[in-house]
Homo-oligomer: A and B are copies of this chain.
Amino acid sequence: MMTDNRLLAALTPQARNEPDSGIIRAAMHGFTVPGVIPLWAGEGTLPTPEAFARPAAEALLRGETFYTWQRGIPELRAALARYHTRNFGRPFDDDAFYVTSGGMQAIQTIVQLIAGEHGEIIIPTPAWPNLAASLRIAGARPVEVAMAFRNGCWRLDLDRLFDAITPRTRAIALNSPSNPVGWTAGIDELIAIRDVCRKRGLWLLGDEVYARFYYGEKAEHRAPSLLDVCEDDDQLLLANTFSKNWAMTGWRVGWLQAPRVLGPAIERIIQVNSSGTPAFLQRGCVAALDEGDAFIARQVAEAREGRDLALRMLGEIPGLRFEIPRGAFYLFFAVDGMADSASTVRRLIDEAKVGFAPGSAFGPGGEGYLRLCYLKDRATLSEALSRFQSWMAVSRPS
């Protein structure tokens, strides 16, 4: 024990004091309990389609197992340009894209590019906690601005957002559609944020990982995007991932989109982060981008059905409050009388065999809520929500 204390004391304060991710804590506990239905993580029930997995498996077996391009293989960067040109209605160049070992690594690369010691990045919350954690571990500072849930709607107060700017601010982070609340920025909001970033010389850190999971009223195939309102020479950095659209969470491949002039700096950081992403995996990602549109459409349709099922079944439980999410694939719902979402999540795993993420994991404004991922097949989701209904009928959340 004395030894343990001595070893812990020899860590940096930020490594020692950083809290565990509440999502991961739930998942790591849930992994040890047989039969739990996991709705804690942002992933669906479907494994990666064989059409994307096979090219990767074949490249691995034919020996494409050497060091590769730090920016990603040329074929994947070209496929990323094609995908964006197709979906964002204007041409994109291969040189805008850098392959990373997951979306998280794209975010960490951005932090290492722009945050620096004591630099601040403004983050609307509730938010996926990893950007804030990455900043703290790097010695920088997340400045969290809580969104408000009023009259059944989540709203980002732009005045409060801009009031958080200080001389140390390096960027405004915008996750739209948002994990966990599903809030989605409109074009006017994107323009307002862009204009302030331009005027103040700030970076705009975009996380549009859920852009395709958008339940607009005009059958739009994606949410409004920073790419709709920014030019190539804006201070725009976008982190993205293959995880969600193409059911590839376990692959750990993502990408970073950045102004071309940053290329050498990004390559240097990739070198010390990961030294590149497996070339054989990138072959599967090319297939996903070029042949994955029908799969995405299927996933989005399943998410919409899951959303509607979850809305209906949660609606049958007294004491819950939530907004109908416009994007992403989570329901973030308030539970009346719940003061400790982490403890409630643990009890739900143990007692009801259903796994959510605790609202407290998502920063200011998150306690009192639970998050579930509704990108699940109907039978799984229905069984999970039945278990939750039964538990709520006889139990009192902590």
Contact = CB atoms under 8 A, between A and B. Distances in A.
B101 A274 contact: yes
B28 A70 contact: yes
A195 interface: no
Contacts of A63: 47-48, 53
Contacts of A50: 61
A113 B9 CA distance: 11
A12 interface: yes
Contacts of A65: 47-48, 53, 247-251
A278 B250 contact: yes
Interface string A185-218: 0000000000000000101000000000000000
A11 B262 contact: yes
A203 B12 CA distance: 12
A396 to B, nearest CB: 30
A10 B116 CA distance: 11
Nearest to A134: B272
B11 A104 contact: no
Which range contains the number of A residues in contact with the other chain? 35 or more
Interface stretch (A18-26, A363-371, A378-386): A18-26
Interface string A91-128: 00000000001101101100011111101000000000
A104 B275 CA distance: 7
A200 to B, nearest CB: 11
A87 interface: no
Nearest to A201: B10
Given A4-B259, A15-B112, A104-B275, 10 more contacts: A3-B233, A7-B259, A47-B62, A48-B65, A57-B61, A117-B117, A130-B271, A130-B275, A139-B139, A274-B274
Interface of A: 3-4, 7-8, 10-16, 18-21, 24, 27-28, 31, 41, 43, 47-48, 50, 53-54, 56-58, 60-70, 101-102, 104-105, 107-108, 112-117, 119, 130, 133-134, 137-139, 201, 203, 233, 235, 247-252, 259, 261-262, 264-265, 267-269, 271-281
